[in-house]
Structure 1
Amino acid sequence: MMLRATLVFALAAMFGTTGAAHSQPAAFYKGKTVNVIAPTDTGGSIYEYTLLVSNHLGRHLPGGAKTVAQTRPGGGGVTASNHMARNAPKDGSAIALMHTGALLMPMTSSAAGYDPRKFGWLGSVAVRSYVGAVWHTVPVNTLDDIKTREVVFGGSGTGSPSYQYPVFLAHITGAKLKVIPGYKSGGETNLALERGEVQGRGNFYEGFLATNADWVRDKKVKFIFKMGPDHPDLAGVPPASKYATTPSQQQMLRVLEAPLAMGTAFYAPPDIPADRLAALREAFQKMLVDPQFKAEAEKMGLFINPRSASEVAEVVQKLYETPKPLMAELDAIISPKK
């Protein structure tokens, strides 16, 4: 009789504990506000993807939650990632979009105080193609044309693709391509391009389609190189791989392009409770197939080409296996010259 009572008590305790653990995320997220952080200012496609996720993630979290988009621009995404690692609450109430350039920065700069391998990856909304574009009045069509005349690009932080990609390609081709960093968002850079303040910029092709589709339709911009995953519209655009002619250049280009395979990936800070990270990941996957989410993405002109949390984590892990001498060589090329 005593054995039976002990067994019943043990089973009740086990199932009670399991039920409590299962309901904990719902209790936590009920009435909670989750901040969804963009690593840029408003106006560009990176912010638009952040806003899209903020508009739809909350209703898929257990218990429901209010989600609010915030911006933390600066340093090519480093400011936002530093915040997530150092200051953001580690309770599941803050997530962020990883800026492509910020993924590489801890490998080359002490200003990046985070390790992307320790973040809790939720997945990616879209893997996109990257292009170098010039305004239609600029008399160049390829990087080879820039060997004889200077062309000025606008970019965000010096750790961003909009700075690093053109600088790297200028180095290996001898193109007279100058990049002026400091623009807070893609939208701000686009305004500078339209005003003639700069002659070109690096950007995601799908980013142009989302924020300035008329530029593509009316051929207001010309694409002079492409990187990362291809797009059918870019069939005639020279790939960056065409210009990487030595084994070292090819290896460095693969490192630069690696974050493009991750796309617009979202993450939580290190060390959040495992059940809340699991809840965030599950909500993220449900959001991606939600008809309301898809409808708003189409309305906003945002491309959807998702990757799972494990696929994103694999990209990060492989990137951080890059030999240090190769990263040092790459850093010497893409870092601002003093």
Structure 2
Amino acid sequence: MHIRVVVASLIVAIYANSSVHAQSAQTPADFYRGKTVTIYVGLSPGGGYDQNARLVARYLGKYIPGEPLVVVRNMPGAGGLVMTNHIANAAPKDGLHIAAPQRGVPFEPLLGDASHSKFDPIKLNWIGSTNSDTSVAVATRKSGVKSWQDLRTRELIIAGTGMGTESVTVPYIIRNLIGLKFRVIAGYPGGSEMNLAMQRGEVEGRGTVSWTSLKPHLKDWVDSGDLVILFQIGLKKHPDIPDVPLITDLADSPEKRKMLELQFSAFELGRPQFVAEEVPADRVKALRRAFDAAMKDPALLEDAQKQDLEINPVTGEEMTEVMKRVFATPKDLVAKLAEASSSQPDLKMREPK
């Protein structure tokens, strides 16, 4: 009886070792052939992140070894944080699940105890981004706000998504560091709903909206004067709007400027995509090179142009370096930024509809 147990254990061990060997010997082409890759968007359909993810999905599969089908699934919740935590922890770590979070979500851990993140951004496998980005703050004409200077004395009520996300924290950081009077109504599922809220008069603007998203969706409002661009948000101005001031230029001290630069390093990531930490290295490499190749596909570039989407890609390796640089920032500066982001006077959560 004892010998039988030993023999059975040996058989199990041999089988397990052979299975591991077979899996390690499997090439990315063998693995991906006949499979479906899902890109998960942390916001509702119709906004800029969703639009960019669907653009990538149409062309990415052609360049992944084995040419799998690539689809998009929306998983809104907490402005993309729910989806990001899910892909980083709960989803299978097989290279079939790609996350497309809001660009500010990877920097959630900077908030320390105030963060609801459950991932290490440096350990995630960054695949690429369709562009580095510049955002803008906007106000509706009905609000009566004509320039950023008006916000020193007049409060602007703006829309936001989930607690802790860029659309909520950025306006309050600007309020606390620059003195511009924003008040956020949070809880909108995504950009489409926030734009509709402006149309309906539920809110008076948005504290941060990507210029590359605004152009295809709201350019008519800007051209007609129904929407006023107050300032640009990021590390550099967008060439389309050179006369609109950059938020870092409004800082009244070098320390505040450095804090803003730290916060807006996220904009260099634009439309980030990643797979979980434990995904096999050869599959990560295959996905990265497929993403890079897709960004040069003439059909994708033509498709993007028709949708007024900018393609200014960032590689997975470049994104990893951004993460390392940001998370090496001195702790005292990070603490001050976290304090500025956590102070959110009069923040209101809308009732879900």
Structural mapping, 1:25-36, within 5 Å: 25-36=28-39
Match in the other structure for 2:335: 328
* Structure 2 counterpart of 1:37, from 37, 40, 45: 40
CA RMSD after TM alignment: 1.8
Q: Secondary structure at 1:60's aligned position in 2?
A: coil
How do 1:162-241 residues align onto structure 2 when only pairs under 5 Å count?
A: 162-201=167-206, 202-228=208-234, 229-241=236-248
Q: Please show how residues 1-338 of structure 1 align to structure 2 within 5 Å.
A: 24-108=27-111, 109-201=114-206, 202-228=208-234, 229-335=236-342, 337=344
TM-score of the pair, normalised by structure 1: 0.89
Q: Secondary structure of the residue that 2:240 maps to in structure 1? A: helix
Match for 1:54: what amino acid? Answer: A
User: Secondary structure at the residue paired with 1:223?
Assistant: strand
Distance 1:177 1:107 in 2: 22
Give the aligned residue type for 1:193: M
CA apart distance, 1:270: 0.7
The code of the aligned residue for 1:87 comes to A
Which amino acid in the other structure matches residue 118 of structure 2?
G
Q: C-alpha separation between the residues in 2 aligned to 1:24 and 1:129?
A: 39
Distance 2:335 2:316 in 1: 29
In 2, the alpha carbon distance for the partners of 1:73 and 1:101 equals 15
Q: Which moved more, 1:315-324 or 1:328-337?
A: 328-337
8 Å contact from structure 1 (residues 105, 112) kept in 2: yes
Inter-partner Cα distance in structure 2 for 1:107 and 1:131: 23
3-state secondary structure, aligned to 1:59: coil
Which residue does the alignment assign to 1:16?
none
* Counterpart residue type for residue 213 of structure 1: K
Q: Would you say the 8 A contact 2:39–2:73 is kept in 1?
A: yes
Figure out how many residues of one structure are paired with residues of the other and give that number. Answer: 319
TM-score by length of 2: 0.86
Distance, in Å, in 1 between the alignment partners of 2:245 and 2:293 is 37
- Residue type matched to 1:303 in 2? E
Q: CA deviation at 1:266?
A: 1.2
1:262 CA displacement: 1.5
- Indicate the larger mover: 208-217 or 130-139: 208-217
- Report if aligned partners of 1:52, 1:293 keep a CA contact under 8 Å in 2: yes
Could you tell me how far apart the structure 1 residues matched to 2:153 and 2:233 are? Answer: 23
Contact kept, 8 Å, 1:158 with 1:336, in 2: the verdict is: no
Partners of 1:93 and 1:137 in 2: how far apart? Answer: 46
Which stretches of structure 1, 4 residues or more, deviate above 3 A after TM superposition? Answer: 20-23
Q: Distance in 2 between matches of 1:154 and 1:95?
A: 28
- 304-313 or 136-145, which deviates more: 136-145
Report the CA distance between 1:21 and its aligned residue.
7.1
Task: List gaps (5 residues or longer) in structure 2.
Answer: 1-22, 346-353
Answer whether contact 1:169 1:243 (CA < 8 A) is retained.
no
Following the alignment from structure 1 to structure 2, what is the Cα–Cα distance between the partners of residues 297 and 336? 39
Give how far 1:110 is off: 4.2
Q: Deviations over 1:296-316 (max 9, x none)?
A: 212222111111222111111
Identity of aligned residues (%): 34
**Contact 1:241–1:253 (8 Å) recurs in 2:** yes
On the 8 A contact 1:158/1:335 being kept in 2, the answer is no
Secondary structure at the counterpart of residue 172 of structure 2: helix
* Aligned partners of 2:177 and 2:340 also within 8 Å: no
Structure-2 change in CA distance of 1:47 and 1:327 (3 Å): same
